Amino acid sequence: MIYLKKSIKTLFKHPNVPSIFSLMRYFPEWRKYLAPDRNSIADKIPWITFSAIDFLKKISHSEMHIFEYGSGGSTLFWASRVKEVVSVEHDRLWYEKIRSELRNHNVTNIKYILSEAEPDNKFKEKSFENPADYISKDENFTGKKFEAYVKQIDQYPDEYFHIVVVDGRARPSCISHALKKVKKGGYLIVDNSERDYYLVPFMFKEPYWRVWKFYGPVPYIYHFSETTIIKKEDMVLT
């Protein structure tokens, strides 16, 4: 069984996973969401690990302000649970699709922003690992930068958002700009954080930050992934 093999490998490679039972509990959901007629938009759920989704369901409430880099099922998930969602998308076709879904569902608590990549004549001098460079590893965006996309969050006051989700392009750059915008007691969410370069440039040390790593199955796909959720503790000085 693919799922069991992946679960056993996960226990050896990821010591923060408590037990095989913590992974096997998601097998029925994982199998259900692999059906060809299922997708994150119709299901209105984030495309992140199941265990991280459970965590977010527990902490979300109706007074929250959310910012997300990257839109989709997560946008509809947040819209049904919180007061305000600000979502920035880089892909025009995907933006039009999600905007249509928002209209169809009569969603009114979302500010939805299209911010496409821009030409960058200094691209060859830059590194996708450097938060100050605003570029993506994705070869489809060679020669382009996401500076305007990343800086969409800068129009909001510091400590405005209860949660900032980083699941789009130029993620180290997004994290860099998001840190001051997360409220004390709020959360930064970074998906696919098994890609070490997303978080390596940053120091998330106790007692200023609390970090949870959720490694395991993800809806709609066969491979496992990691979602990191980081809480800005109340004693953080800005």
In the chain, what are the domain boundaries?
2-232
pLDDT of residue 223: 87
Tell which CATH classification among 2.60.40.10, 3.40.50.720, 3.30.70.260, 3.40.50.150 matches the domain 2-232.
3.40.50.150
Using the predicted structure, report yes or no on whether residue 83 has a pLDDT greater than 90: yes
Confidence (pLDDT) at 14: 74
Q: Answer for the pair 228, 16: CB distance below 8 angstroms, yes or no.
A: no
CB 102 within 8 A of CB 80: no
> To the nearest whole percent, how much of the chain has pLDDT over 70?
93
3-state secondary structure of 201: coil
Confidence of residue 3 (pLDDT cuts 50, 70, 90): confident
Tens digit of pLDDT for each residue in 182-201?
999 999 999 999 999 999 99
| Digit-coded pLDDT (tens) for 117-172 | 999 999 999 999 999 999 999 999 999 999 999 999 999 999 999 999 999 999 99
Q: What is the mean pLDDT of residues 202-228?
A: 93
Task: Measure the CA–CA gap between 43 and 39, rounded to whole angstroms.
Answer: 6
Burial letters for 126-151: b for 16+ Cβ neighbours within 10 Å, e otherwise?
eebeebebbbbeeeebeebbbbebbe
Structure tokens at 73: 């099922």
Q: Tens digit of pLDDT for each residue in 14-42?
A: 767 766 667 788 999 999 999 999 999 99
Measured CA angle at 183 (ends 68, 167), to 5 deg: 20
pTM score of the predicted model: 0.92
In whole angstroms, give the CA distance from residue 69 to residue 89.
7
Question: Under 8 Å CB-to-CB from 15, ≥6 apart: which residues?
Answer: none
First to last CA, the chain: 49
**pLDDT beyond 80 at 93:** yes
The pLDDT score that the predictor gives to residue 21 is 67
| Closest among 205, 199, 208 to 228, alpha carbons compared | 199
pLDDT at 238 over 60: no
Please report which confidence band the pLDDT of residue 53 belongs to, taking 50, 70 and 90 as the band edges. very high
d(CA 136, CA 127): 8
Cα separation, 24 vs 179, in Å, equals 34
Whether the per-residue pLDDT at 6 is higher than 70: the answer is: no
Q: Is residue 210 scored above 60 in pLDDT?
A: yes
What's the pLDDT score for residue 237?
52
Q: In whole angstroms, give the CA distance from residue 166 to residue 52.
A: 14
CA angle 172-91-146, nearest 5°?
A: 35
Is residue 206 very low, low, confident or very high in pLDDT (cuts 50, 70, 90)?
confident
- The alpha carbon of 14 is separated from its chain's Cα centroid by a whole number of angstroms, namely 20
